[in-house]
Structure 1
Amino acid sequence: MKNEKGFTLIEMMIVLLVISVLLIITIPNITKHNSTINDKGCNAFIKLVEAQIQAFQMDKQRLPTGIAELETEGYLKAGQTACPNGDAVQIGASGEVTKVVVNE
């Protein structure tokens, strides 16, 4: 009688079952926290824009007219004028930054 070492079909199916159960548990938790992650990313972007407004104001001695001016003057990267979740950001007359909700 040969002593062959290896996994049987039953053992492989049990391992696949355990992996499947773990995936079924973790994937809904990740998608549930997606909106929280996007909100935190948007808040961080707003803080970045506020800091860039202050830098612009120190350099130019005035407030920017809008977020597009921060982009054209090099204070923000090209195309970086909205939150990661797609919400727009606007600058008020006194320099306050607010987000405009696009996705509901």
Structure 2
Amino acid sequence: MKKGFTLLEMIIVVSVLSILFLLAVPNIQKVMKIVDDKGCNAMLKVVDSAILQYRLDYEQYPNDIFDLVNAGLMNEEQIQCSTTQSVGISNGQAVLQ
């Protein structure tokens, strides 16, 4: 007699793995959202620092985020927080748009 797995054993193993995968995916997505949010909050602090530096250099607040880029205080990659949100300036503070 050949040794091996029966079809029933294989179906049970695949079912258990599928259930574990389905339980893990929502948790991974939740963690990724938390990471994105923390990254956006950190980016807002960076922009707030650049706004203060701009205020010290030019004695006025920047009108928009591109004033910071043109002044060399930020680069264009830093104005995008995530794939759906960008960073802007409102009333002298960094905000998500």
Distance 1:53 1:73 in 2: 11
Superposition TM-score, scaled by structure 2 size: 0.67
Aligned to 2:78: 80
How many corresponding residue pairs?
Answer: 96
Partner in structure 2 of residue 96 of structure 1 = 93
Q: Which has the higher helix share?
A: 2
TM superposition outliers: structure 1 runs of 4+ over 4 Å: 32-37
1:1-104 pair list within 5 angstroms = 4-32=2-30, 35-58=33-56, 60-62=57-59, 63-93=61-91, 95-100=92-97
The Cα offsets for residues 15-55 of structure 1, whole Å up to 9 and x where unpaired, read as: 21111001111223334555544433322211111122234
Once superposed, what is the RMSD of the aligned Cα atoms? Answer: 2.8
Write the letter of the residue equivalent to 1:96.
Answer: Q
Report percent identity of matched pairs: 35
Contact 1:42 1:85 in 2 (8 A): no
Structure 2 residues not aligned, in runs of 5+: none
Q: CA 1:13–1:54 in 2, change beyond 3 Å: closer, same or farther? A: same
